[in-house]
């Protein structure tokens, strides 16, 4: 059981690292575009769509890491089932139609907690981008 928890912790660490690198990359991209927005509605909305799409790709990468673990350890019968199970676990949808074997169930909990944290991080980042996109360029403009 401890070995499986250690493996789950390593996959969690990989997910956090990839998400951190991905959001740092997105932040640099947003900063480079922010000067060109000038409060333009459609430019800001396209940037939000781009950021949302990027965040979803980061989450799909994390889901694929967990799915690969479940398929590699044969905790799920096939890769398709592993991806499906991982997606509903990471997003905490939790349909319950597929379950991990007893020895891997705590790893599923670690995945769900990782998903909650990474979705929260993406939400916070998205809100920060939204705030930045629609803030006045200077205090003089807002008066």
CA distance 53 to 32: 18
Residue 95: CATH number of its domain = 1.10.287
Tell me the residue range of the domain where 101 lies. Answer: 2-136
Within a domain: 33: yes
Domain presence at residue 8: yes
Question: Is position 101 within any domain?
Answer: yes
| pLDDT for position 140 | 43
Q: What is the pLDDT of residues 1-34, one digit of tens each?
A: 899 999 999 999 999 999 999 999 999 988 887 6
Residue 59 lies inside a defined structural domain of this protein = yes
Q: How far apart are CA 91 and CA 57, in angstroms?
A: 14
Low-confidence residues in the chain, pLDDT < 70: 34-40, 136-143
User: Is residue 102 a part of any domain in this protein?
Assistant: yes
Note whether 133 and 35 are within 8 A (CB): no
Within-domain flag for 15 = yes
DSSP character at residue 38: T
Cα 115 to Cα 16: distance, rounded to the nearest angstrom: 10
Please indicate, yes or no, if residue 21 is contained in any of the structural domains.
yes
**Domains: count for the chain:** 1
């Amino acid at each position: 059981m401890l070995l499986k928890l250690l493996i789950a912790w390593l996959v969690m660490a990989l997910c956090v690292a990839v998400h951190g690198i991905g959001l740092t990359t997105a932040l640099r991209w947003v900063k480079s575009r922010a000067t060109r927005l000038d409060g333009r509605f459609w430019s800001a909305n396209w940037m939000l769509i781009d950021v949302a799409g990027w965040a979803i790709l980061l989450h799909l990468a994390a889901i694929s890491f967990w799915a690969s673990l479940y398929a590699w350890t044969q905790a799920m019968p096939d890769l398709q089932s592993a991806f499906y199970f991982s997606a509903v676990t990471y997003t905490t949808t939790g349909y319950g139609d597929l379950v991990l074997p007893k020895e891997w169930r705590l790893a599923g909990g670690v995945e769900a907690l990782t998903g909650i944290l990474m979705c929260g991080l993406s939400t916070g980042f998205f809100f920060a981008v939204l705030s930045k996109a629609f803030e006045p360029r200077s205090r003089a403009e807002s008066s």
